[in-house]
Amino acid sequence: MDIISTYGSTMVLFAAGVGFLMAWGIGANDVANAMGTSVGSKALTIKQAIIIAMIFEFAGAYLAGGEVTATIRNGIIDSSYYVNQPELLVYGMTAALLAAGTWLLVASYYGWPVSTTHSIVGAIVGFSAVGVGVDSVSWGAVIGIVGSWIITPLISGVIAYLIFVSSQKLIFNTSDPIKNAQRYVPIYMFMAGFMLSLVTIVKGLKHVGIDLPINEAFLVAGIIGLLVAIIGKFFISRIKIDPDADKEMHYANVEKIFAVLMVITACSMAFAHGSNDVANAIGPLAAVVSIVEQHGVITEQSNFTWWILPLGGVGIVLGLAIFGKRVMATIGSGITHLTPSRGFAAELAAASTVVIASGTGLPISTTQTLVGAVLGVGMARGIAALNLGVIRNIVISWVVTLPIGAGLSIIFFYILKAFFG
């Protein structure tokens, strides 16, 4: 307790700095991969993607990032082990932020899309298991995360494959692609409006006190999807098409329709992502601030100090703007060649997987969901359409994320303990 009362202000300032570093890493890596499909398919330029992400990620983080958050992220560790030594939890959470932030910077530099959630979880597991005791970790939750490495990309990949194949059969591989686009694209618009509003309601708005029962969430999402489809059908019907133009020109016009859809999906995914994943940076920071303000008393819920959410939001935006291009390039063009229709299939599949995971309690990684969806779209065109070298590097980076996060966290934990102790 004496350590916290003596060094409390210093601890909070240092934790705020590494919390900002973590948010910066989330922007450079996680947000960049969420925008990569839009950029790679040429639906958006890099500058437009950054502007959209700046607005919607910050809005999601600030407006729906949460009034309160669990002190211990995702029930990974048992806080009762720290009651008599709260300063260890302060060291640990700060070390976890520094470890995960450092790994995200390295991964972003090499263009590897890694999971920020798994980075922070690995870091928290590392300091708690070694610094406090193996029993302080909820190993069941960790096993669930490891299992999600396979399950999450598989689900999103299968959904993306089905969406892409359906668009080929119903629209592109027909004698009149424009006419069929006018008929079927409103259905895709309904699916997009429904899934993206559902993911926003389920993952984004519960933090601001809007926590609808699942049946009401489905009803609201259905109404929004219907409105999106009606508006979309109206604008598509007004598109003037030259019936004498060749089929290639018709294909190009259909892709333009899907490009408009991709802009909508990019905005919605950015908002939902900002509201959900900002917790990876500010959850541990909120825990540190709460322990210091409560003079060493550990509470299960940490009330947010006013400056924490803006800090996370600004960090995410700057990380994307300064360092996001490398991961965008990997997702957008490194794995497989994307067009607006292929990119739309990937983003809609990713959103659908997030909804499924939220409903079933499956540990979710936005990164792995989106990479799996892009792989699914590539597989629909055959194995030759995939860059296997890039995929190998991505998978390796996923596997090493947990142990590297844990290892760095243990080192930083003992450095902080020695410095303050």
Note the pLDDT tens digit of each residue in 21-38.
Answer: 999 999 888 887 778 888
Report which residue type is found at 72: I
Output the average pLDDT for the chain: 83
Q: Please tell me the least confidently modeled range out of 69-73, 316-320, 351-355, 357-361.
A: 69-73
Residues 77/141, Cβ–Cβ less than 8 Å: no
Q: Which two tokens stand for residue 347?
A: 């983003």
Res. 301: pLDDT tops 70: no
Q: Which domain holds residue 157?
A: 2-420
Alpha-carbon span 55 to 69, nearest angstrom: 23
Residues written for the chain: 421
Tracing tokens 């069929």 back to the chain, one arrives at 180
Give the model's pLDDT for residue 107: 92
pLDDT band at residue 18 using 50, 70 and 90 as cut-offs: very high
pLDDT band at residue 72 using 50, 70 and 90 as cut-offs: very low
Res. 412: pLDDT tops 90: yes
Higher-scoring residue by pLDDT: 114, 147: 114
Higher-scoring residue by pLDDT: 180, 17: 17
Give the model's pLDDT for residue 68: 38
Alpha-carbon span 202 to 210, nearest angstrom: 9
Closest Cα to residue 194, out of 172, 229, 216, 224? 224
| Local structure of residue 45 (DSSP, 8 states) | -
- Report how many domains make up the chain: 1
Note the pLDDT tens digit of each residue in 227-284.
Answer: 988 988 887 777 676 666 777 777 888 888 888 888 878 887 787 677 667 777 888 8
Note the pLDDT tens digit of each residue in 140-149.
Answer: 878 877 787 7
Beta-strand ranges (E) seen in 53-206 are 68-70
Note the pLDDT tens digit of each residue in 143-169.
Answer: 877 787 788 899 999 999 999 999 999
Q: In 10 A of CB 117, how many CB atoms?
A: 26
Give the model's pLDDT for residue 353: 84
Res. 362: pLDDT tops 70: no
Res. 13: pLDDT tops 90: yes
Q: Chain-centre distance of CA 114, in angstroms? A: 10
419 Rama sector, left if φ>0, alpha if ψ -120 to 50, beta otherwise:
alpha
Res. 126: pLDDT tops 90: yes
The predicted model scores a pTM of 0.83
Give the model's pLDDT for residue 416: 94
pLDDT band at residue 320 using 50, 70 and 90 as cut-offs: confident
Res. 393: pLDDT tops 60: yes
Higher-scoring residue by pLDDT: 181, 404: 404
Q: Is 294 helix (H, G, I), strand (E, B) or coil?
A: coil
263 Rama sector, left if φ>0, alpha if ψ -120 to 50, beta otherwise:
alpha
